[in-house]
Amino acid sequence: MDVKTVGIIGAGQMGNGIAHVMALSGFHVVLNDISQQALDSGLSLIQKNLARQAGRGKISDEEVAASMERISTTLVLADIGKTDLVIEAATERETVKQAIFEDLLPHLLPHTILTSNTSSISITRLASRTDRPERFMGFHFMNPVPVMQLVELIRGIATDEDTFKTCQAVVEKLGKTAASAEDFPAFIVNRILMPMINEAVYTLYEGVGSVRSIDESMKLGANHPMGPLELADFIGLDTCLAIMNVLHDGLADTKYRPCPLLTKYVEAGWLGRKTQRGFYDYRGETPVPTR
């Protein structure tokens, strides 16, 4: 199938990044959220990020304008139904995602491919609640979407080859690289990355190091471009906790137990950059460690 229109559900950090790269690659995008504010700020962030790319000479001003013209926004989920490919990028909670798919099903075209950008939830289980498990798969972008090269493509148990090939072609058109992952908790990248972040939080919790010393150690000692706590703030601590819970529940191994300190930060609403506070406080000029 030749995908021309893409429906994106959720205009948060991931949804707006996905809309950005899709529109820039020539796809027509319909972006949906339950919050008008999320749609407005998502759209202005896309404009800002595209303008930054133009400022660096990576794209032309005409491409910025044409990309923005290819994006429409809507609070009505049914408007997403008439697209060739749907990418669900709403909050990482299974009940939220299931309710979205349930509401969307009556409005879909027969050929529409349904995908989820979930970081960890079972694709097979999400697919089984729809009318099209063979045309359902995981389409997992990395954050920030315009910068990161990888997209994990995850086949559910019923996903057919045409669906996989169609999504693979979309990734190629975006100029990104697809990695094929099997449908087990957290797939490849987060299966490896999240236990490392969780261990960094344990290292902080047990007083082995401060926020700054843990991040500096991993940057200078392991050559990571960002420290694990800085990265956790970037991803969102609620998302990190949700992924650890999926690993813990799905693999039933105590090595995946979420650190109580991570839970406490989430309980406080200190979710990282998106709420201006996490392992660092971002409300001032420069980030200040909170421990």
- What Å distances lie between residue 209 and 70, 199, 201, 231, CA to CA? 48, 12, 10, 17
Q: Binding residue per annotation — 199?
A: no
37 labeled part of a ligand binding site: no
- State which residue, 71 or 90, has the beta carbon closest to ligand NAD: 90
Q: Which residues bind ligand NAD (CB under 6 A)?
A: 9-15, 32-35, 38, 89-92, 96, 100, 117-119, 140-141, 143, 235-236, 239, 274
Amino acid at 19: A
The one catalytic residue in 120, 122, 190, 198 is 190
Min separation Cβ 34 and ligand NAD, Å: 4
Say whether 248 is catalytic: no
Rg for the chain (alpha carbons), in Å?
19
Give me the least distance between CB of 6 and ligand NAD, in Å please.
Answer: 15
Distances (CA, A) of 18 to 30, 86, 142, 210, 274: 11, 11, 10, 35, 17
Q: Is 12 annotated as ligand-binding? A: yes
Name the closest residue to ligand NAD (Cβ).
12
Q: How far is the CB of 283 from ligand NAD (least distance, A)?
A: 19
Any catalytic annotation for residue 152? yes
Q: Which is nearer to ligand NAD, 3 or 241 (CB)?
A: 241
Residue nearer to ligand NAD on the CB measure, 54 or 189: 189
Residue 14, marked binder: yes
Q: Tokens in use for 230?
A: 């800085």
Measured CA to CA, the distance from residue 61 to residue 236 in angstroms comes to 32
Pairing of strands 28-32, 280-281: unpaired
Task: Return phi, psi of residue 85, to 5°.
Answer: -135, 130
Distances from the Cα of 82 to the Cα of 7, 35, 138, angstroms: 8, 21, 20
- The single residue of 119, 120, 122, 198 carrying the catalytic annotation is 119
Nearer residue to ligand NAD within complex by CB, 75 or 220: 75
Q: How far is the CB of 79 from ligand NAD (least distance, A)?
A: 12
CB of 277 to ligand NAD, least distance (A): 15
Whether 279 and 230 have beta carbons less than 8 Å apart is answered as yes
Is residue 285 annotated as a catalytic residue, yes or no?
no
Classify residue 237 by its DSSP letter: H
Residue 261 φ then ψ, to 5°: -70, -35
Does the active-site annotation cover 35? no
Nearer to ligand NAD, 60 or 72 (CB): 72
The answer to the question of whether 53 is labelled as a binding residue is no
Q: Cα dihedral sign for 28, 33, 35, 38?
A: negative
Beta bridge partners of 28: 5
Active site residues: 119, 140, 152, 190
Binding positions for NAD(+) are 10-15, 33, 92, 97, 119, 143, 274
